[in-house]
């Protein structure tokens, strides 16, 4: 979309949407670190404030009206999440974030259901949160982690997966959208391969659920995890979706508080799914915020969200490609990057790159993006040892970004090598 900067309708839509986000509307910043966390629309902030002003109480077990109201608010949020991803309400477990959701599965299912000699297939592109828990499960059980590697553009070959899985495979762990290169993985096809050998599949949806429709029934995944703060809601609320039959078989991960039914001196019985996985006082306020975020996303519509994010990504590619000394990580096609562009500036450490961006009012992310094995793998394929090691700089786009954000980013990028004395 080369004429995006001249598209009056696009700009009108931008102005309408940006007014909903107090921080970016009131501050002179091009916020392009949405893969790390998103900004919050006033609709979410107002919903949370309304809850704390009018309904705040400790939910469950309280017999007074205010406690009942808090309970209703919490369970209403759970039902809203379930509808959003086409799950049953009881298949939704609230956690603090996607990392905790994965750890819950790893320790509740992995420790109990995986034994010495079993295998866990993990893609090399995983965020550390979908990497380290499986290494721990293998260490504790004597199982083996088998790594599924991608090519230079981040493509995962299904035939390779077929060669990796066997009767020993108990679980396949893969992200739906890479947080480094923005590549969309065909997890529906991968799930079929896992199921062919009796293995389960866990999908990291942290970078997909906020940006595109995700239907867990259509994907036929066993588990899906995501974080609220990456989809316009507060930090501190995450989601684990699990097929009901799996959740019912799994033991609790945390103990105490609301997850119990009865307690004696020698033991306890636990609440039904999903409550047996939600120990302690639950996070009602942030659940309400997540519900409001989903309502907001539905109001904007994924058609609009995807159209805007992909147009802005295309525009960023067009502006970047003519800048000397820029290396884009992964595919060189904009359509292969779901709102995420990770790059290197020749001769300049990524932390210096991000610092220079900051002086120009552009917020980006520098580092390993919690995916060191992937970056190391990609550079090993090219037999390169770049300046600054394997660190990179990442720009991640949301639908509330506009043309000005992208142009401001590109202008700053074009000046970096000169400011570092290369031009």
> Is the model's pLDDT at 2 over the cut of 70?
no
What does the pLDDT look like over 352-401, one tens digit per residue?
Answer: 999 999 999 999 999 999 999 999 999 999 877 766 689 999 999 999 99
pLDDT band, residue 7 (cuts 50/70/90): confident
**Phi-psi sector, 348: left (phi>0), alpha (psi -120 to 50), beta:** beta
> Is the model's pLDDT at 140 over the cut of 80?
yes
Name the catalytic one among 45, 370, 403, 420.
370
Share of the chain above pLDDT 90, in %: 89
Helix (H) or strand (E) holding 202: strand 200-204
> Is the model's pLDDT at 421 over the cut of 90?
no
pLDDT of residue 388: 65
Domain residue limits, the chain: 4-31+301-417, 45-297
pLDDT of residue 4: 83
What does the pLDDT look like over 279-288, one tens digit per residue?
Answer: 999 999 999 9
Higher pLDDT, 263 or 386: 263
Share of the chain above pLDDT 70, in %: 99
Contact 289, 48 (CB under 8 A): yes
CA 183/CA 192 separation, integer angstroms: 20
The chain-wide mean pLDDT, for the chain, equals 95
> Is the model's pLDDT at 161 over the cut of 90?
yes
pLDDT of residue 384: 74
DSSP of 70-95 = HHHHHHHHHHHHHHHHT--GGGEEEE
Domain 45-297, CATH: 3.40.640.10
> Is the model's pLDDT at 1 over the cut of 80?
no
Short-list 304, 302, 395, 320, CA closest to 14: 304
What does the pLDDT look like over 91-119, one tens digit per residue?
Answer: 999 999 999 999 999 999 888 889 999 99
Helix (H) or strand (E) holding 290: helix 284-300
Domain 4-31+301-417, CATH: 3.90.1150.10
pLDDT of residue 12: 76
Is 221 one of the annotated active-site residues of the chain? Answer: no
What does the pLDDT look like over 169-219, one tens digit per residue?
Answer: 999 999 999 999 999 999 999 999 999 999 999 999 999 999 999 999 999
Mean pLDDT of 228-235: 98
pLDDT band, residue 423 (cuts 50/70/90): low
Q: Cβ neighbours of residue 72 under 8 Å, at least 6 residues apart?
A: none
Preceding omega of 274 cis (within 30 degrees of 0) = yes
> Is the model's pLDDT at 59 over the cut of 90?
yes
What does the pLDDT look like over 296-328, one tens digit per residue?
Answer: 999 999 999 999 999 999 999 999 988 999 999
> Is the model's pLDDT at 349 over the cut of 90?
yes
Q: In a 3-state reduction of DSSP, which class is residue 402?
A: coil
Report the predicted TM-score, pTM, of the whole model to 2 decimal places: 0.96
């Amino acid at each position: 979309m080369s004429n995006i900067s001249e598209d009056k309708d696009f700009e009108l839509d931008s102005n309408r949407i940006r007014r909903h986000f107090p921080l970016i509307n009131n501050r002179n910043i091009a916020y392009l670190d949405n893969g790390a966390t998103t900004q919050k629309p006033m609709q979410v902030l107002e919903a949370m404030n309304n809850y704390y002003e009018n309904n705040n109480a400790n939910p469950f077990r309280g017999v007074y009206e205010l406690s009942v109201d808090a309970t209703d608010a919490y369970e209403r949020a759970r039902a809203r999440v379930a509808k959003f991803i086409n799950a049953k309400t009881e298949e939704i477990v609230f956690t603090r974030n996607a990392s905790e959701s994965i750890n819950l599965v790893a320790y509740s299912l992995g420790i109990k259901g995986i034994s010495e000699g079993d295998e866990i297939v993990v893609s090399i592109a995983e965020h550390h949160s979908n990497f380290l828990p499986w290494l721990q499960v293998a260490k504790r059980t004597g199982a083996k982690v088998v790594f599924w590697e991608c090519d230079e553009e981040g493509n995962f070959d299904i035939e390779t997966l077929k060669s990796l899985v066997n009767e020993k495979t108990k679980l396949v762990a893969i992200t739906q959208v890479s947080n480094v290169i923005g590549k969309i993985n065909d997890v529906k096809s991968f799930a079929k391969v896992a199921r062919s050998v009796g293995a389960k599949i866990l999908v990291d949806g942290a970078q997909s659920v906020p940006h595109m429709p995700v239907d867990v029934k259509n994907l036929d995944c066993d588990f899906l995890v995501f974080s609220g703060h990456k989809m316009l809601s507060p930090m501190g609320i995450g989601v684990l979706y699990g097929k009901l039959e799996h959740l019912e078989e799994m033991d609790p991960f945390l103990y105490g508080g609301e997850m119990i039914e009865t307690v004696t001196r020698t033991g306890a019985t636990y609440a039904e799914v999903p409550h047996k996985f939600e120990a302690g006082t639950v996070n009602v306020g942030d659940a309400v915020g997540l519900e409001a975020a989903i309502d907001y996303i539905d109001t904007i519509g994924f058609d609009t969200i995807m159209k805007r994010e992909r147009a802005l990504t295309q525009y960023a590619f067009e502006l970047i490609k003519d800048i000397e000394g820029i290396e884009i990580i992964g595919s060189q096609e904009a359509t292969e990057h779901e709102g995420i562009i990770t790059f290197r500036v020749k001769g300049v450490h990524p932390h210096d790159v991000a610092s220079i961006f900051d002086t120009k009012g552009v917020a980006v992310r520098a580092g390993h993006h919690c995916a060191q094995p992937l970056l190391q793998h990609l550079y090993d394929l090219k037999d390169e040892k770049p300046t600054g090691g394997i660190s990179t700089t990442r720009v991640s786009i949301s639908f509330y970004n506009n043309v000005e954000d992208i142009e401001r980013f590109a202008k700053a990028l074009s000046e970096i090598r000169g400011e570092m004395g290369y031009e």
